[in-house]
Amino acid sequence: MAVLIGMALLSAARADKLIVYSSADADALDSFAKAFAKAHPQVAVEWVRASTGVLQKRMLEEREALKADVIFAHTAANMIELDKLGLLQALQPTGLERVGGRYLDTQDPPRWIGLYTWSTAMCWNTAGTTQSKLERPKTWQDLLKPALKGRVVMPDPVYSGTGAMMVTGWVRTMGEAKAWAFMDQLHQQVSQYTRSGSKPCEMAAAGQTQLGLSFPGRGARIKEAGGAIDVLIPEDGTAWDLQAIAVNRKTRKQAEAMKLVEWALSTPAMEAFARYGEVTSVKVRVQKLPHLPPNIPERMIAQDFDWLSSQRARILGEWQKRYAGKTEPAP
């Protein structure tokens, strides 16, 4: 059975287990963990999940003695930061040749390998739209219309990888000055910043907000479960990141770690990823989520992970100084 534990419980993890850190969505990670356990029942794994920002902070704090053997389904930009600290080993697994070049670390051999992409989206509540006669947004700029004042919820980018994608994506596509001017105005529209990338979409489906900024996979799953939302991909581009895999340079469980890496590059694993991500680094044919928008690939912005890694902390620090007053309290 796949067991996911939080960061606070890690001290209780058994020494004989492969410790895997991940920032994948909880239900996705549970599915991946079960699939790996089925393929490799002899490998005992302690899966440790946290949101992107929380997990990265923990690993930076642990840099002198990183507890994870494998970092799985964590963002490429954050993997670059970990590699610059000398925490990751070079990888030459079986199956590496199957991975498209845009999904790999630029070093040869790579220190991290992309598995699947996820991007940004808007979750639009459809239950009350007729009565209020609100016009659904088509672009990011449409979020600034007066009718949406106080009706937008967004993830806090310091805690949420989805939120970080949005903010860095706006800076990358609009330029610094225009992006901060946009976010200054957007801040007036936002009622709350959440600590989770999924929560804004869940709130939209529950009628707690008109519009939740989130990611397509979460919106599609909520709609499939009967949620009263539509999933919208902005016409002016969606930021995206890679969920990647890497191995601790100092792991004492090299053989077990490589079993996970090589499984992650296999067709069954990629099929599992395709059910939760938008694009996989190895092409597979699998039925996508029914309500996943088909126009995601053509609306993905040009991405530069080295730029993202080098600028991310500065941008998020500035965002926190300006807007953190509306972030929901810690649980």
Condensed to tens digits (0 to 9), the pLDDT of residues 133-164 reads 789 999 999 999 999 999 999 999 999 999 99
Is-same-fold flag (4-118+241-293; 121-238+301-326)?
A: yes
Domain 121-238+301-326 has CATH 3.20.20.80: no
The model's confidence at residue 118, banded by pLDDT at 50, 70 and 90, is confident
Query: Distance (Å, rounded) from C-alpha 115 to C-alpha 274?
Result: 10
Query: Distance (Å, rounded) from C-alpha 41 to C-alpha 85?
Result: 33
* Helix, strand, coil share (%) of the chain residues, nearest 5: 45, 20, 35
Number of H helices, E strands in the chain: 12, 11
Residue 175 confidence (pLDDT) above 70: yes
Residue 9 confidence (pLDDT) above 60: no
pLDDT averaged over every residue in the chain: 93
3-state secondary structure of 309: helix
Whether the CA torsion 297, 303, 305, 309 is positive or negative: it is: negative
Least confident among 33-47, 170-184, 268-282: 268-282
Q: Any residues with CB less than 8 A from the CB of 96 and at least 6 apart, and which?
A: 109, 110, 113, 265
The model's confidence at residue 2, banded by pLDDT at 50, 70 and 90, is very low
**pTM for this predicted structure:** 0.84
3-state secondary structure of 74: strand
The model's confidence at residue 247, banded by pLDDT at 50, 70 and 90, is very high
- 299 close to 240: Cβ distance less than 8 angstroms: no
Residue 10 confidence (pLDDT) above 70: no
pLDDT, greater one: 277 or 233: 233
Residue 142 is classified by DSSP as: G
What percentage of the chain reaches a pLDDT higher than 70? 94
Among the residues of 225-284, which ranges form H helices?
254-264, 267-274
Kindly report, residue by residue over 93-104, the tens digit of the pLDDT: 999 999 988 899
3-state secondary structure of 247: strand
Q: Where are the domains of the chain?
A: 4-118+241-293, 121-238+301-326
Residue 27 confidence (pLDDT) above 60: yes
The model's confidence at residue 83, banded by pLDDT at 50, 70 and 90, is very high
Beta strands in the chain (DSSP E): 4-5, 18-22, 45-49, 70-75, 113-119, 121-125, 152-155, 190-194, 211-214, 229-232, 240-247
Strands 45-49 and 152-155 come out as unpaired
Residue 12 confidence (pLDDT) above 80: no
3-state secondary structure of 94: coil
Q: Which fold has domain 4-118+241-293?
A: D-Maltodextrin-Binding Protein; domain 2 (3.40.190)
- In this predicted structure, what is the pLDDT of residue 130? 53
Residue 13 confidence (pLDDT) above 90: no
In this prediction, residues 192-212 reach a mean pLDDT of 97
Residue 131 confidence (pLDDT) above 90: no
